[in-house]
Amino acid sequence: MRLHRPNMLLPSCVLSLPLLLLQDHQDMDVALVKYRVAAAASPNCPQLWNNIGMCFFGKQRYIAAIACLKRALYLDPFEWLVAYNLGLLHLSTGQAASAFHYFSTAVNHKPEFAHRWGQLSWLSLGPGSLLWAS
């Protein structure tokens, strides 16, 4: 399963493009160290917590990833990408009901993003019916 790209930045968040490049190149440990510094400067940035959560997801530290993504969702409940990433996380851990909930939320916030529709249809048909989801 391919991780979704890290979130784009808002001007109110203290992040830089090199951090996103570190995360894109699978250098999660270095990115997490840099994100720790950014979190101290801007602790209420939902994009920052989304990116930290996806770093933990890339390292397969699922409990930390859920905590960070839920904090991002708390800070911005209408951010579709956080709901999508939570859906991916729950899907990868085998929690289909939770994944369905977060993918449904993401679809409601931004219906034009086609990947979510595919994952939502896969979940509604069940893992045994992957052929029919396409």
**Prediction pTM value:** 0.73
Report residue 133's pLDDT band, with 50, 70 and 90 as the boundaries: very low
Rounded distance between C-alpha atoms, residue 112 and residue 115, angstroms: 9
Q: What is the mean pLDDT of residues 38-57?
A: 90
Q: Which residues contact 59 (CB under 8 A, 6 or more apart)?
A: 28, 29
Quickly count: other Cβ atoms within 10 Å of residue 96's Cβ. 15
Which tokens sit at 58? 């890339």
pLDDT tens digits, one per residue of 79-124: 999 999 999 899 889 888 888 889 888 888 888 876 666 666 666 6
Rounded distance between C-alpha atoms, residue 93 and residue 43, angstroms: 27
| High-pLDDT (> 70) share of the chain, % | 65
